[in-house]
Amino acid sequence: MPQSHFISSIFRKEVLDLSAYKVADAGGLIKLDAMENPYRWPEPVIKEWLDVIKEAEINRYPDPEARRLSATLKKIDGISGNLEMLLGNGSDEIIQLLLMALPTHAKVLSPSPGFVMYRQLSRCLGLDYIDIPLLSGDFDLDLPAMLEAIDKHQPSLIFLAYPNNPTGNLFSEISIRKIIEATPGLVVVDEAYAPFTDQSFIDVLGEYSNLLVMRTLSKLGLAGLRLGYIVGESSIIGELNKIRLPYNINTLTQITAEFALNNSDLFKQQTSQIRSERSRVLLEIRSIEGITTYPSEANFILFRTPPDKAASLFEMLKTKGILIKNLSPQGGLLLDCLRVTIGTPDENDAFLQALSSSFEQLNG
């Protein structure tokens, strides 16, 4: 039997129809493509951390409930009452758990453009994924279209990224509330970029029994740990815990995250610097005639080039040592769009210089 026939006989069609998630090689480049915190820990903090983790009993399985870490996160986020928390190996594992828990005929709904893993994992599991385009002017929710889709499809689960990835904006709070109230299933407000905005639905959790808020420590500055969490009513979290793999948060992640959260002043300082740099970079890009920028409440900026220039500009930046994200191949509202992560001041200066010279050369 030819290998292609063998493969098609083994794997589900939903898997065969997917494309693997690609991560660009950033070797030798200033990496501004993945929404990471660009700052390392100071040496004294690293030394203190090493003193902590050297006591880790890595010969033993980790705490399956990550109780100390969960308690710290609950305290930081003010989680109490009938609310509970589930930790995951990044937000991706939590998204997968949510989708795995749904019936095979379930429908999943989310605005578009949005976080690619909502669609990727839904389709991998054979679920009916429905995306509703955002408004073209400001990337806000098209509330009438969302409500119509909810009424028609009766989705079991809705994902709303807040701020949205890859556009960086906050959706209307009024629209989100109306969606929560109209939805027969669960609504997940994904707050991956919470450190870079003052808005949140954490305090709204007690108002709606079908609302869940998901967060991650990746954007805060702990991307290498792969730690995410979701908060909601204990009855819902209890069902998700049934399919969570045991020991999914390893010992070193638990200890390191606990240590980091107890050094919160360091992250507040870094976050403040990133937010300040975001404002500066946005103004600088906006000053380049021919490029359209969009407001951001995240640690990245989306901008649009003139028609059919995005790919060329992306490649020119790479030749000058700068890696950003080319979103134009996704088409739709992202046609001609590029996205840059906010780096250190020096990295941002290098990007801005390369962008200005490349754009001038492109239009020369």
- CATH of residue 350: 3.90.1150.10
Whether 288 and 148 map to the same domain: the answer is no
Bridging pattern class, strands 157-161 and 107-112:
parallel
Whether 319 and 337 map to the same domain: the answer is yes
Query: Are the beta carbons of 211 and 232 closer than 8 angstroms?
Result: yes
163 upstream amide cis, omega within 30 of 0:
yes
Note whether residue 352 is domain-resident: yes
Separation of alpha carbons 179 and 151, rounded Å:
11
Separation of alpha carbons 346 and 349, rounded Å:
5
Q: Which of 227, 245, 263 is the last residue of a domain?
A: 263
- Which two three-digit tokens encode residue 265? 């002043």
Whether 121 and 242 map to the same domain: the answer is yes
Separation of alpha carbons 152 and 159, rounded Å:
17
Whether 105 and 213 map to the same domain: the answer is yes
Q: Is the pTM of this model over 0.75?
A: yes
Separation of alpha carbons 262 and 276, rounded Å:
24
Note whether residue 64 is domain-resident: yes
Q: Note the pLDDT of residue 7.
A: 72
Under DSSP, the state recorded for 222 is I
Question: From residue 210, how far is each of 180, 236, 273, 309 by CA, in Å?
Answer: 7, 9, 36, 43
Q: Which of 231, 263, 295 is the last residue of a domain?
A: 263
For CA atoms 199, 200, 204, 208, give the dihedral sign.
Answer: positive
Note whether residue 201 is domain-resident: yes
Q: Note the pLDDT of residue 51.
A: 96
Whether 81 and 212 map to the same domain: the answer is yes
**Which residue carries 């969302």 as its tokens?**
146
Run means of pLDDT, 10 residues per run, the chain, 364 residues: 69 72 73 95 95 94 95 93 94 97 95 96 94 96 98 98 97 98 98 96 95 94 94 96 95 96 92 97 96 97 96 96 96 97 98 95 82
Under DSSP, the state recorded for 229 is E
**DSSP string spanning 65-106?**
T-HHHHHHHHHHHT--TTEEEEEESHHHHHHHHHHHTS-TT-
User: Domain containing 306: what range?
Assistant: 3-42+265-362
Residue 210: CATH number of its domain: 3.40.640.10
Whether 84 and 212 map to the same domain: the answer is yes
Whether 229 and 352 map to the same domain: the answer is no
Question: From residue 61, how far is each of 56, 57, 70, 89, 254 by CA, in Å?
Answer: 11, 8, 17, 16, 12
Note whether residue 49 is domain-resident: no
Whether 213 and 345 map to the same domain: the answer is no
Whether 87 and 183 map to the same domain: the answer is yes
Whether 94 and 229 map to the same domain: the answer is yes
Q: Note the pLDDT of residue 21.
A: 62
Separation of alpha carbons 7 and 4, rounded Å:
5
Note whether residue 50 is domain-resident: no
Note whether residue 158 is domain-resident: yes
Whether 294 and 234 map to the same domain: the answer is no
Note whether residue 52 is domain-resident: no
Q: Which of 248, 263, 278 is the last residue of a domain?
A: 263
Backbone angles phi, psi at 11, to 5 degrees: -95, 150
The total number of structural domains that make up the chain: 2
Whether 11 and 137 map to the same domain: the answer is no
306 upstream amide cis, omega within 30 of 0:
no
Note whether residue 210 is domain-resident: yes
CB burial class (10 A; 0-12, 13-18, 19+) of residue 210?
middle
